[in-house]
Amino acid sequence: MTTHLRWLAIIVVITAASLWIIWPDNPGIHIDTDGDGEPDIDKTIETRLGLDLVGGIRVLLAADMPAGEVDAGDMETARRIVENRVNGLGVTEPIVQLQPGSNSIIVELPGIEDPDMAIATIRETGLLEFVNFGSTPLEIGTRVMTDYRLELQQQAEEAQSEGTVTPESEATEGTPSESPTPEEEATPTEAEPTPTEGEGEEEYSGRVYHTVMTGAHLASAYLIPPDPARGLSSYAVGFELNEEGHQIFSEYTSTHVQQYLGIVLDGEVISAPRIREAITDVRGMITGSFTRDSAEQLVIQLRYGALPVPLRVESVETVGPTLGAVSIERSVRAGVIGVITVLLFMLIYYRVPGIAADLALLVFAAINFAVFRWVPVTLTLPAITGFLISVGTAVDGNILIFERMKEELRAGRSLQGAVKAGFERAWTSIRDSNLSTIIICAVLYLFGSTFGASVVRGFAITLALGLVINLFTAVIATRTFLALILNFTREQIEKHRWLLGV
């Protein structure tokens, strides 16, 4: 009995934690351990809904080049970079896949509020250049030509004449390093200049500016919020240089004090600060008239590199929230009806053991929803279907146990012996059936990474989670509840075997 009480305490703690997590107004966990005003433990608890439930956009991007000039390797690289950029947008469970038989990429973005900004972020090539403007600044927004871009164009023309394709530009690739805190940043002593009139016409007359270095020399990029104490009236973009970039930047700023260093993205001036003194730190800051969205867009482009091929938007399909609301309503209704039906069946058919099974099933549902919110798991219609099937699997384990118990009772065994035999002999069947289904879920998950089959990934995830949790609730939770019930009703059940469904 002591063992069952210990398990009951564990079950109560797990259930209480699950109920706290699934509480609709849960504020999450935000703990500041060092007193700096920024939470060191920052965990948001939320329910994430997929494209079919919350709405969003589906975009088809195509290579903006003749079909014979697009390399399959470049398209895969472009897909990976687009996927990284989409993840940087904070989109929940986006889908980014190559369309077989064409030079196109399909992107699904659930819950996007600004489709234009999202599309611009994922399709821009993102070529960042630090350009020598000499003693004369250029107005922000001016289009300029650099020797580096000319060289890229010449290489592309030469490669095209030879029947090969060369990547359009270089930029940062790989995983960004952790963004430093504002206290750790070393900001260059730069000041935003007053734009000079007439410079826009000069660059269109054929002047070519020298590129000091490119985005390939960045190790990371991060968002810097407005901070009047540091002279920042708007958002800025911080960056950290790699070893080669640090050396180039230090040498250049040491020999070009009081000159203007233009920061150019895809041929457009976004900032033109004056070098007040030599900048020898590995960290710097790009300032300008940034909003939060435009600054985040630049950060994502700098973090995840330039696209090897230009992309154009072939089509944009909007999935409205109305369809999602209807789907959610019907899914919830189906789920409630299904769970109530199962609870009633177990209670009516198995009586007292059915009470234990129902309690275990409620614990099972609470733990599942808590895991969905904590991970979080993006809920789509297939994902909800996977959960509902796992409910049936959880009940199936209890049915195996209770039917074995009834067989033992009919064979003349005592109540305690029948309960023990029922759980011990049914365990191997429950374990093997669940493990075999989990293996199938793994196959479905891997298969879901291919084009056209992504909907099965959510199904596989929720079903697998349900099966794993079922190994705990169907055996340990049900056995604990049944033992406690039998402890208080043993005499009545011994006299009335029909209470066990026999």
468: left (phi over 0), alpha (psi -120 to 50) or beta: alpha
User: pLDDT 10s digit of each residue in the chain, 502 long?
Assistant: 688 899 999 999 999 999 999 998 888 888 877 666 666 677 888 887 777 777 788 888 888 777 667 777 778 777 877 776 676 666 656 778 887 667 888 888 887 767 777 777 676 656 778 899 988 888 888 888 898 888 877 776 776 566 544 443 333 333 333 333 333 333 333 333 333 333 333 344 468 899 998 877 878 888 888 888 877 888 888 888 888 888 998 899 889 888 998 888 778 887 787 887 887 888 877 777 778 877 877 776 666 665 667 778 888 887 766 556 776 777 778 878 888 888 999 999 998 899 999 999 999 999 999 999 998 887 888 888 899 889 888 888 899 899 999 898 888 888 888 888 999 888 888 999 899 999 999 988 887 655 445 568 888 999 999 999 998 998 899 999 999 998 888 878 877 778 876 6
| Distances in whole angstroms, Cα of residue 237 to Cα of each of 116, 299, 368 | 21, 7, 40
Residue-wise pLDDT tens digits, 183-193: 333 333 333 33
Closest CA to 476 of 343, 364, 348, 340: 364
Rounded CA-CA distance 236/217 in Å is: 19
Rounded CA-CA distance 167/416 in Å is: 74
> CB of 448 within 8 A of CB of 455?
yes
Token pair 């002591």: residue: 2
CB hemisphere CA count around 24 (13 angstroms): 0
Structure tokens belonging to residue 501: 């469904």
Residues found in the chain: 502
Helix (H) or strand (E) holding 191: strand 190-191
Rounded CA-CA distance 3/484 in Å is: 11
pTM: predicted TM-score of the whole model, two decimal places: 0.59
Closest CA to 465 of 381, 365, 380: 365
Residue-wise pLDDT tens digits, 119-169: 776 766 567 788 999 888 888 888 888 988 888 777 767 765 665 444 433
Q: From start to end of 45-103, where are the E strands?
A: 48-49, 56-63, 95-99
Q: From start to end of 362-476, where are the E strands?
A: 378-379
Structure tokens belonging to residue 319: 């999935």
Structural domain 56-319, CATH architecture: 2-Layer Sandwich (3.30)
| Distances in whole angstroms, Cα of residue 27 to Cα of each of 31, 45, 374 | 12, 7, 12
Closest CA to 351 of 485, 488, 484: 485
Contacts of 421 (CB under 8 A, 6+ apart): 404, 405, 408, 413
> CB of 453 within 8 A of CB of 447?
yes
219 DSSP 8-state letter: E
Token pair 């609709």: residue: 24
Residue type (1 letter), 21: I
Domain ranges of the chain: 56-319, 320-500
Token pair 């790989």: residue: 174
Domain 320-500 CATH superfamily? Multidrug efflux transporter AcrB transmembrane domain (1.20.1640.10)
103 DSSP 8-state letter: T
Structure tokens belonging to residue 187: 């900001």
| Distances in whole angstroms, Cα of residue 261 to Cα of each of 136, 192, 246, 249 | 10, 11, 15, 10
Helix (H) or strand (E) holding 284: strand 283-290
Rounded CA-CA distance 151/293 in Å is: 32
